[in-house]
């Protein structure tokens, strides 16, 4: 993680690359644009993701990503977006904007990944896709709006 309040990560990569398990103090909102992967956690199995899935991973869940080599885009790559929201950023947000307290209380109930579906998933995907072309400073209002969608 860098010094930014949040990290937006859009990637296209060959499916052979494993994203190793990493301990993190961030919520991870993940959108698998194209591909299929098994998200693993030591000692248990996290539900797999397929193209179009949107999931939120709590900061207490150490996990990794390994991709299915058969499900790729036209360039032979998997494509995904991850938005990392550090716990410290969210705590500061609530301090400065008490309106977010209810959202944070709701999020803190999650100890396992949350899969978003239907209209809610589509609205999250729309925001994440818009953010792809923006600078970090231009992404700030979209992050604030995304929090209201979780």
Model confidence at 9, in pLDDT bands (50, 70, 90)? very high
The tens digit of pLDDT for each residue in 40-53 reads 555 556 677 888 99
Question: How is the chain classified by DSSP, letter by letter?
Answer: --SSSSEEEEEEE-TT--EEEE--SEEEEEEEEE-EEEEEETTEEPPPEETT-EEEE-TT--EEEEE-TTS--TTS-EEEEEEEEEHHHHHHHHHH-GGGHHHHHHHTT--S-EEE-HHHHHHHHHHHHHHTTS-HHHHHHHHHHHHHH-
What's the topology of domain 7-149?
Jelly Rolls (2.60.120)
Domain boundaries, the chain: 7-149
Residue 72 has what pLDDT?
A: 83
Question: Taking all residues of the chain, what is their mean pLDDT, rounded to a whole number?
Answer: 86
């Amino acid at each position: 993680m860098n010094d930014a309040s949040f990290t937006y990560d859009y990637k296209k990569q060959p499916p052979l690359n494993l994203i190793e398990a990493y301990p993190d103090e961030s919520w991870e909102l993940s959108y698998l644009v194209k591909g299929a992967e098994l998200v693993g956690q030591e000692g248990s199995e996290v539900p797999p993701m397929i193209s179009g899935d949107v999931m939120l991973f709590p900061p207490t869940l150490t996990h990794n990503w390994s991709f299915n080599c058969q499900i790729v885009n036209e360039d032979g790559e998997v494509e995904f977006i991850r938005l990392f929201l550090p716990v410290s950023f969210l705590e500061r947000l609530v301090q400065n904007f008490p309106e977010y307290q209810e959202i944070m209380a709701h999020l803190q109930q999650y100890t396992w990944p949350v899969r978003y579906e239907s209209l809610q998933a589509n609205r999250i995907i729309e925001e994440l896709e818009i953010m792809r072309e923006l600078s970090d400073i231009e992404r700030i209002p979209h992050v604030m709006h995304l929090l209201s969608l979780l």
